[in-house]
Structure 1
């Protein structure tokens, strides 16, 4: 087990979330090495359309999107993971000065950065271990460089509206920021959305439950992981999917100095995934100091890659 003191933030977030009236865990803690690996598996599942749909948009518009980054500028990716889709932009962006992948999972990030250094030897790869939901310290030589943020994968949908505005506002205040390339999942039939988060192979269930295993391994909790089940719910306002872990029995869990009590059927809310329309996306940009410059979509309007530009004034 890892040293408890090294995981104080994880423990603090877990205690705060699991002692609230609606128990919750922040989705950023999904991504230890196993969680990151499981998510990469999810992106290849037949039900999980967002990754392949967004990848096709990035493929078809790679040169155009790479051109959003000025010559010698930096592409700064929030929550970079394995940087799989980003490679289309890196390949098209021979004029980039640097790529700055930001991720909370240090082991996964460093392994990915090492691979990218081999694949793009002329590009400065500058990984940053950080939680992008808060302030991020960019490398000193990148701070004043012209830069464009990249946030693919519809991860913006994991944030509640206020958090999404706060994130986009922080990026808008970066020195030298010239654009924001943002992936957003769009509203569509509910059955298609539910299936994307509750796949027949059970990989998303395993991904969701892994957060409990992480708490057991890293902060010495004693969750009976088999006593929880994965559950997916749709809400109309705002339009969002929710993932929960539902207790199959009445039970107690020890977490630090706290004893957490669960009733049978009580849930832990682990993730929200908001879906956007053209209007709600434009409103998000406006509230956070950006303008929606263009929206690139697939033929079936399932997913969008938006280009935001700093609002004047």
Structure 2
């Protein structure tokens, strides 16, 4: 059997200068903000892997169980043999667990963390030497446009783990529309975290071991590398809260003392208690997200959940 090597494509949108300009604008805004994509440097990716193993964070395990229980139904609804496009692939483990089920003709792993996805894909190719694989380093947080070099063919767009919740609803609708345009008449398989009691929601973002706090504060070190700033994580505390009106968890970093942050001739003063908004995670009702899919142009939608309806996996056709 001929052994393949994964290809890699790095999109221009991942260039450092663009990220630095975006970071500076966010830090100078009021209130300050940093996009959640900056949580995922190599250490951030590994910290997030640790978060998914915590007892408080059930989404990953629940999603895996849904896919295992309803795998045959999912295949009947969506089909097999397409190019599997794994959006926000991370360590590629979620998609890899579906290879035998979905029988992809090709696997495309898309992630903003170029070095992390390169290492993960090289290891995965060794375990699946006959499956063509391509890694794409791409920041799709603003717009999803896959490189033309990927070629044609029907695509199954796979976006697991409830990352769609990081987008504002209007942005989520636009993203879902772009995903449909990019799937070449294929299908979508997407994970969505559902509305649940606050006693279940908050601990998932503020765990007892402080892993999520470390994940959030590590963002500051990533900002320092990209922007040349002088954040000290010891000056900041992790804060997670729920906005019931927006139906979203918010993550912030809260200044513990007066802080002046400098970078490239600019600076920002933070008073004690000032925050930097680092992430939103919207929680949907089943009928609400189904409507969002139809608004984005998807059809033949299906939904599979766990017995407590705390998480949902949606399938749809383009």
Q: Does 2:88 correspond to 1:76? A: no
User: How far did residue 185 of structure 1 move?
Assistant: 0.3
Pick aligned residue for 1:260 from 259, 264, 268 = 268
1:101-159 per-position Cα deviation (integer Å, ceiling 9, x unaligned): 1001011101111111111122111111101222333353x442011100000000011
Q: Which runs of 5+ in 1 are unaligned?
A: none
Moved more, 253-262 or 67-76: 67-76
Pick aligned residue for 1:47 from 41, 48, 56 = 56
Give the equivalent residue in structure 1 for 2:170: 162
| TM-score (ref. length: structure 1) | 0.92
**Aligned pairs (5 A) from 1:115-134:** 115-133=123-141, 134=143
Q: Does 2:231 correspond to 1:223? A: yes
CA distance in 1 between counterparts of 2:250 and 2:66 reads 26
Give the equivalent residue in structure 2 for 1:184: 192
**Aligned pairs (5 A) from 1:143-154:** 143-154=151-162
User: How far did residue 86 of structure 1 move?
Assistant: 1.5
Size of the aligned set, in residue pairs, is: 304
Q: Does 2:265 correspond to 1:238? A: no
User: How far did residue 83 of structure 1 move?
Assistant: 1.6
SS at match of 1:293: strand
SS at match of 1:101: strand
Give the equivalent residue in structure 2 for 1:14: 23
CA distance in 2 between counterparts of 1:39 and 1:22 reads 25
Q: Does 2:282 correspond to 1:274? A: yes
Moved more, 48-57 or 81-90: 81-90
CA distance in 1 between counterparts of 2:139 and 2:73 reads 29
User: How far did residue 15 of structure 1 move?
Assistant: 1.0
Alpha carbons 2:231, 2:261 under 8 Å: kept: yes
Q: Which runs of 5+ in 2 are unaligned?
A: 1-13
Pick aligned residue for 2:257 from 249, 264, 267 = 249
SS at match of 2:140: coil
Give the equivalent residue in structure 1 for 2:45: 36
Alpha carbons 1:232, 1:242 under 8 Å: kept: yes
Q: 1:54 to 1:309 in 2, by over 3 A?
A: same
RMSD of aligned residue pairs (Cα, Å):
1.7
Moved more, 15-24 or 284-293: 284-293
CA distance in 2 between counterparts of 1:257 and 1:164 reads 35
Alpha carbons 1:79, 1:101 under 8 Å: kept: yes
CA distance in 1 between counterparts of 2:286 and 2:226 reads 41
Q: 1:247 to 1:300 in 2, by over 3 A?
A: same
CA distance in 1 between counterparts of 2:47 and 2:67 reads 23
Alpha carbons 1:38, 1:207 under 8 Å: kept: yes
Q: Does 2:196 correspond to 1:171? A: no
Give the equivalent residue in structure 2 for 1:298: 306
SS at match of 1:173: helix
1:76-111 per-position Cα deviation (integer Å, ceiling 9, x unaligned): 1110101222122112233x2101110010111011
CA distance in 1 between counterparts of 2:196 and 2:183 reads 37
CA distance in 2 between counterparts of 1:277 and 1:203 reads 28
Give the equivalent residue in structure 2 for 1:212: 220
| TM-score (ref. length: structure 2) | 0.91
